[in-house]
Amino acid sequence: MEPSHLLAEYRRWLTFQRQEQLSREHQGISQRLMDARVSADQVVKAYRSMAEKASTEGACYRTLYLREQETGESLPCEGWLFIRRILSEGNTTRVRATLLETFSLETGPVEVGKQPARKVTLEIFDRLLIDQGMATQARVDSIESPRDQHFLTLLDAVRGDLRPHLK
C-alpha cells in the first residue's frame, strides 16, 4: 500500500473515531441533563453567565450539537461558542452567538480560524416528551439552520484566546 494512501486512510479512521467519541459524549451529557431534570430557566441562567464572561473576558465555550444529515440521521459536531447577547421576550429566550466550528464528519477536525465564524441565533425552550411520561427536556436549537439542533454548551470548557477569530 502506498504511504500517502495509508496516511489518508489513517486520518479518515481518526475522523470516524472522533465522531464516535463525540456521539458518546453528546449522548452522555444529554442523559445526565435529563436525569437531573434541568429546566429551560436553568439553561437560560447558565447562558446569561456565559454572556457576562464573554463580554468581560472574551470567553468562548465548547459546544456540542447535532447536525441532521440528508439521510435523516443526526451526528454531533463540535465548536466554540461566543455568547453575544441574550434576548428574552414573553416565554421566548434567544441567544445571539458566534460559532467557530472545529469538527464535523464532513470536514473532520478544523483548526480554529481556518473556517469563518458563523453567527447563530439559538432558542432555549422546554421540550415535552410524551413518550417518557410527559417529562420535559431543556433544549437549545438553532433558528437559522434547522439542521443544527440540541446544543450542549459546557461551562467547564472555556477559552479566552479566540476573539481574533470571531470576525
What pLDDT shows up at residue 132? 67
Query: Sorting pLDDT into bands at 50, 70 and 90, what band is 110?
Result: very high
Query: Sorting pLDDT into bands at 50, 70 and 90, what band is 29?
Result: very high
**Residue 69 DSSP SS3:** coil
> Which residues, 6+ apart, have CB-to-CB distance to 126 below 8 Å?
39, 40, 136, 137, 138, 139
Q: With 90 as the cut, is the pLDDT of residue 105 above it?
A: yes
What's the CA dihedral at 85, 86, 88, 91 to 10 degrees? 140
The H-or-E segment that residue 86 falls in is strand 74-89
Q: Report how many domains make up the chain.
A: 1
What pLDDT shows up at residue 53? 95
The H-or-E segment that residue 32 falls in is helix 3-35
Quote the CA–CA distance of 94 and 62 in Å, as a whole number.
18
What pLDDT shows up at residue 137? 85
What pLDDT shows up at residue 82? 97
The closest alpha carbon to 113, from 59, 57, 162, 60, belongs to: 162
Quote the CA–CA distance of 115 and 102 in Å, as a whole number.
9
What pLDDT shows up at residue 167? 79
What pLDDT shows up at residue 87? 95
What pLDDT shows up at residue 22? 98
Quote the CA–CA distance of 148 and 121 in Å, as a whole number.
11
* pTM, rounded to two decimals: 0.91
pLDDT in tens, 116-151: 999 999 999 988 777 766 778 899 999 998 899 999
Give the DSSP letter of residue 146. Answer: T
Backbone angles phi, psi at 38, to 5 degrees: -70, 130
Q: By residue range, what is the domain housing residue 145?
A: 3-165
What pLDDT shows up at residue 130? 73
pLDDT in tens, 37-94: 999 999 999 999 999 999 999 999 999 999 999 999 999 999 999 999 999 987 889 9
For residues 87 and 93, the answer to whether their CB atoms sit within 8 Å is yes
Q: With 90 as the cut, is the pLDDT of residue 3 above it?
A: no
